[in-house]
Structure 1
């Protein structure tokens, strides 16, 4: 094996190892926070069935992340829900600033429409620095949308409708999660050692959406 081939192989191994760590961190967040605290009553089913697809983006800017999002939206639309109900696209090297990430979401929504996937798929978002409008950065309630890495959650509208139908009180999840976290406290959250958490069905009232 040539020196160039050895170097390339070493680089590939390093990238693969990091990808595995990003996915492992995200699964730990899902199991310990989302499912462990029952922050999303619909998460356990798709997790146990292996219907969550984890993808690590190597993007370093919004354009590259948009390319990855485009690919994953098309892939999710083409595969059956039984094989892949939802996708988590983690971007550890991109949009570390929450406001930049938040601005990217408009592009994500426009992409869904451009691909004629409106009403079929939607994109939810979670970030290590997530902050609801009108809150202090250290408010524990912000952890409802905090993940170890900037993350785009690709969801099927049909799956959301079924979940809400099975759980008529879905509109109360957001308020309940805030209560759970406030009771847990920042020290309790930090003790979970997960970096963040979220539930795509637990949406904040419009007036409490993330800062623009």
Structure 2
């Protein structure tokens, strides 16, 4: 489990922060306020229960700004993972967490709808493991209000990803698995 967390911490620092995919991540890394939780769930029902547990844990631990819920054994199939994302979002609403938390998602085989799977832009959402990122909506609203041209973040990331190319990002993902 520790290796999974180390790999994800490498990814956050060597990809997300270093290439500024999320301009808000550096502060959370420096503040050590990202919580990493490894779930061994392989079934959708178990995975969403873990997600709900992590929402409750965020409520109980205000020092945690965000949680990366990492699936080390399940959801290697991207379509199955997308089903998980849909179920997780539905349960977020059903359990009263809508407006408090939102979910971003990452997967080793992430591909945007209607994009070619080899498009380097997909690497903006590719991670070493299938991951649900639980984000505090209030905090996100606050940082977005202070960030100039926040709506340009995804487009800037896509441009950077395509400029660097698929081989570059694939190499970075592979390096995250090394110590």
The question of a shared fold, defined as TM-score above 0.5 by the shorter chain, is answered with yes
Deviates more, 1:116-125 or 1:183-192: 183-192
> What residue is the counterpart of 1:15 in the other structure?
none
Alignment CA distance shift 1:106-1:178 (3 Å):
same
Deviates more, 1:186-195 or 1:125-134: 186-195
Gaps in structure 1 of 5+ consecutive residues:
1-18, 197-212
- 1:194 positional shift: 4.6
Runs of 4+ residues deviating >6 angstroms: none
Gaps in structure 2 of 5+ consecutive residues:
none
Instruction: For 1:143-162, list aligned pairs within 5 A.
Output: 143-162=123-142
Give me the whole-angstrom Cα distance separating, in 1, the residues matched to 2:77 and 2:4: 18
> What residue is the counterpart of 1:67 in the other structure?
49
1:129 aligns with 2:78: no
Give me the whole-angstrom Cα distance separating, in 2, the residues matched to 1:193 and 1:155: 23
- 1:124 positional shift: 1.3
- 1:192 positional shift: 2.0
TM-score (normalised: structure 2): 0.93
1:126, 1:145 within 8 Å by CA — same for their partners in 2? yes
Output the aligned Cα RMSD: 1.4
1:70-96 per-residue CA deviation (whole Å, 9 max, x = no partner) reads 11111112221xx10000000011111
> What residue is the counterpart of 2:164 in the other structure?
184
Give me the whole-angstrom Cα distance separating, in 1, the residues matched to 2:171 and 2:131: 22
Larger radius of gyration: 1
Give me the whole-angstrom Cα distance separating, in 2, the residues matched to 1:195 and 1:74: 33
Give secondary structure in 2 for the equivalent of 1:168.
coil
Give me the whole-angstrom Cα distance separating, in 2, the residues matched to 1:193 and 1:79: 30
1:115 aligns with 2:95: yes
> What residue is the counterpart of 1:77 in the other structure?
59
Instruction: For 1:1-212, list aligned pairs within 5 A.
Output: 19-80=1-62, 83-194=63-174
Give me the whole-angstrom Cα distance separating, in 2, the residues matched to 1:194 and 1:119: 35
Deviates more, 1:32-41 or 1:187-196: 187-196
Give me the whole-angstrom Cα distance separating, in 2, the residues matched to 1:98 and 1:185: 21
